[in-house]
Amino acid sequence: MDVNAWMHRYERVITIMNERANLLRSTDWNLITTTANTFKSDWRGIFIEDPVLPVSPEVLFKLSYETLGNGINNAVSYFASSQPKVWLSSYVKNSLYNLSDLRYGATQWENVDSQHSKLNRKFWYNNTVFTGTTGRDVDLVVYRYADIVLLYAEALAMTDNFSDAVFQLNKITTRAGNSQYFTADFVSQEELIDAILLERHREFLGEGKRWFDLVRCNRFDLLKERNNVEIRPTQIYFPIHRDHINQNPLLEQNPY
């Protein structure tokens, strides 16, 4: 699905979903069903595997960390950190989420604050900051069910299937405690796409999706406006390493 979305073959994305319709009705994979009282623990369960409980039904593919057992707790973190080390921007703190959004408290560390931002809590092992241990129990989730649902919504919106797109969008929006959208809320395709991308921003904050969403949907100008920086279209993609060019002369170098 991702490849076809990046190639802007959105009809093919929809076809794939129709061919694999059982994925949307699967009993093995689904959005976590939760309440306001249990949302934080259920949400956290996507990223931290409990040895007693089954794997979250929302997880499609992940790289697991484990401080016990076969000792793979630090394997992936040699290359990429498994704990958040960044402060969330003031935009995230003040504008991205409604205060009623259940993801607000689950994503921002409420007890650690500064004048400008809060700490990303997605996710600290045992909800404890700075444990003094190098052990890693937080899984690196690459794909989860919500990603597929919102990518499907994007494809539907891009092909002018507004009502179906809004239906898929609402699965994620209402799960987080927000009011549902209606088709009449959107007067153009651009508005609907913006709403889907904003929902992806809220849902996947800190999961490495945002930049790629903006590039795929040609919205990278948002970064220019928000950060007051100049981004040329030729800077979206890194140059291809010269070794690869030498190995395959048919490759064309990206302008940069």
**DSSP characters over the chain:** -HHHHHTT-HHHHHHHHHHTGGGGG-SSS-PPP--TTTHHHHHHTTTB--SSSPPPTTEEEEE---SSTT--TTTGGGTS-SS---BPPHHIIIIIS-TT-HHHHHHEEEEEE-SS-EEE-TT-GGG-S--S-----B-EEEEEHHHHHHHHHHHHHHTT-HHHHHHHHHHHHHHTTPPPP-GGG-SSHHHHHHHHHHHHHHHTTTTT-HHHHHHHTT-THHHHHHHT----GGGSSPPPPHHHHHH-TT--PPP-
Rounded to the nearest integer, the mean pLDDT of the chain is: 80
Q: What is the tens place of the pLDDT at every residue in 99-134?
A: 889 888 777 665 554 544 455 556 655 544 444 445
Domains in the chain: ranges and CATH:
2-31+144-235 (1.25.40), 39-141 (no CATH)
More confident residue, 93 or 9: 9
Q: What is the pLDDT of residue 130?
A: 43
pLDDT interval class at 256 (50, 70, 90): confident
Please answer whether residues 149 and 161 qualify as being in contact, where contact means their C-beta atoms are separated by less than 8 angstroms: no
More confident residue, 68 or 16: 16
State the Cα–Cα distance between residues 126 and 88, nearest whole angstrom.
Answer: 20
Give the residue-averaged pLDDT of 240-247.
Answer: 95
pLDDT interval class at 169 (50, 70, 90): very high
More confident residue, 36 or 117: 36
